[in-house]
Amino acid sequence: MGISFDKALSVHPAAIQLRLARAELLSANLANVDTPNFKAKDIDFASEMQRSLNKTSMSSAPEQKYRVPYHPATDGNTVALNVEQAEFSKNSLDYQTSLQFLNAKFVGMKQAIEGK
């Protein structure tokens, strides 16, 4: 009887992949805080996770959405530094949590293989 890693690891690999893609977008937003006409982008994590659960593979890139600014800048830039920093921090903590869940899954599988 073989181990089905997809079933054993559950949604955690997809969550980590989405968190990483979101971190890249948020860091690009932060890097372009002073770039005229730069439009801040983000990923709707919940809807992208739902989409990935409904598909058999996570081959397509997550849908990027433009962030609607609270106070538009006169130069056309939609990056709000405090919003982006908060979202980046939250995403980083969620990424670490997903890694901890995945690690727990591997520890459990190792114990099952060893018969503990």
For the stretch 33-63, pLDDT in tens is 999 999 999 999 999 999 888 875 555 788 9
Tokens in use for 48?
Answer: 């992208």
What's the predicted TM-score (pTM) here? 0.83
Alpha helices in 1-116 (DSSP H): 5-9, 12-31, 45-54, 81-114
Mean pLDDT score across all residues of the chain? 88
Above pLDDT 90, what percent of the chain? 56
Residue 4 clears pLDDT 80, i.e. is over it? no
Pair of tokens at residue 7:
């079933």
